[in-house]
Structure formats: C-alpha cells, structure tokens
C-alpha cells in the first residue's frame, strides 16, 4: 500500500476536510466528510474492491474483529491483515460476497454503526444474514471495526 495524495485535516470531531487530487492531477477539490460519510465510502470501497480508497480511509494500525467459531473468526491487526481478511471474503466466495448497506448511525464519540445485509455463495452454501459493524473513526480514518451478526450460527456454518 503506497501513500496517497490525499490529506486529511482534523476539524471538530464530526467533520473532516479531505483534499483530493482530480483524475487529471491538476486541480484539488475540498469536501467535508462526517465520520458516517467515511463509513459509507468505506462500504462502497469494500463492495467495489477499491483498494486505493481503502488504503486512504483505513488507518495503518486498524483492527477488525469477527466473532464466532469459523475459519474467519478472530481479530486482524494492521491494514495488511485486514485486507487479507477481506480478500478471503471475496476469494472464497468467487467474488459474490457483498455487504449491502442499509443505514448508518453516528455517535458523538467517533463511533459509527453500519447496519447491512451480508450475501454470498460458497461451496453450494448461501449466506444471507444481517450484520452491524461498530466502527471507530479518528481523524477521518477507520481505526477499528467489530462485526456483530444477527445469526452468528448461519455465519459460522457458511464459513465451515
């Protein structure tokens, strides 16, 4: 993962200024993003396998916690480990894994909850379960994600 031309400047806890270089490389635009916006953009990047955006939005020391007893359960520490976890989701489902965002809730403490539906196919099995992720966002970057599944048994069986 290389460095990005984007700069993130801290504003009040709920807003960030993100300077982005335009595709032609000549101009810069400024956009205000809330922590909820960061999470929404993160879902989009995840579902599109947009590694450049994930590299920009996830902190280098990000952690990702997945509950349960399956082979994907546990805590991934660091951006490379988290990306490897995401790679398993996509790779082991032949690219069918999607986190279909339903809504986002933002707290005053930098936490954002994303409510979504996971769908995928793997080895003849179907995944269709609701999930929420509690994100911790600092300075416009995702520092942690902790998944919570409505039907953890369904999740574990899918990955077994």
- CB-count exposure of residue 24 (10 Å: 0-12, 13-18, 19+): exposed
pLDDT of 31 reads: 62
Domain holding 32, by residue range, is: 7-159
pLDDT of 147 reads: 97
Helix (H) or strand (E) holding 34: none
pLDDT of 32 reads: 79
Question: What is the spatial distance between Cα 100 and Cα 118, in angstroms, rounded to a whole number?
Answer: 6
The CATH number of the domain holding residue 52 is: 3.10.450.50
Q: b/e for 4-15, b at 16 or more Cβ within 10 A? A: eebebeeeeebe
Six-digit token pair at 115?
A: 């409510």
pLDDT of 137 reads: 95
10-residue mean pLDDT series, the chain (160 residues): 35 43 40 89 94 93 96 96 94 95 92 96 95 95 96 94
- Angle, CA of 6, 84 and 82, to the nearest 5°: 60
pLDDT of 108 reads: 87
Cβ contacts of 119 within 8 Å, gap of 6 or more: 96, 97, 98, 100, 126, 127, 128
2 occurs within a structural domain: no
Evaluate if pTM is beyond 0.75: yes
CA dihedral 69, 71, 74, 75 (to 10 degrees): -170
What is the domain count for the chain? 1
Residues forming a β-bridge with 134: 113, 146
pLDDT of 12 reads: 40
Contact indicator for 66, 147 with CB cutoff of 8 Å:
yes
61 occurs within a structural domain: yes
């Amino acid at each position: 993962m290389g460095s990005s031309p984007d700069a993130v400047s801290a504003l009040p806890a709920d807003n960030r200024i993100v300077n982005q270089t335009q595709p032609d490389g000549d101009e810069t635009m400024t956009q205000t993003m809330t922590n909820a916006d960061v999470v929404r953009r993160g879902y989009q990047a995840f579902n599109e396998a947009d590694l450049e955006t994930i590299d920009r939005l996830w902190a280098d020391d990000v952690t990702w916690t997945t509950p349960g007893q399956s082979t994907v359960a546990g805590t991934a520490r660091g951006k490379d480990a988290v990306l490897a976890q995401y790679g398993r989701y996509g790779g082991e489902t032949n690219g069918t894994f999607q986190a279909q965002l339903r809504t986002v809730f933002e707290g005053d403490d930098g936490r954002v909850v994303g409510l979504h539906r996971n769908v995928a196919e793997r080895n003849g099995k179907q995944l269709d379960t609701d999930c929420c992720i509690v994100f911790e966002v600092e300075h416009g970057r995702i520092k942690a994600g902790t998944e919570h599944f409505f039907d953890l048994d369904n999740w574990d069986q899918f990955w077994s």
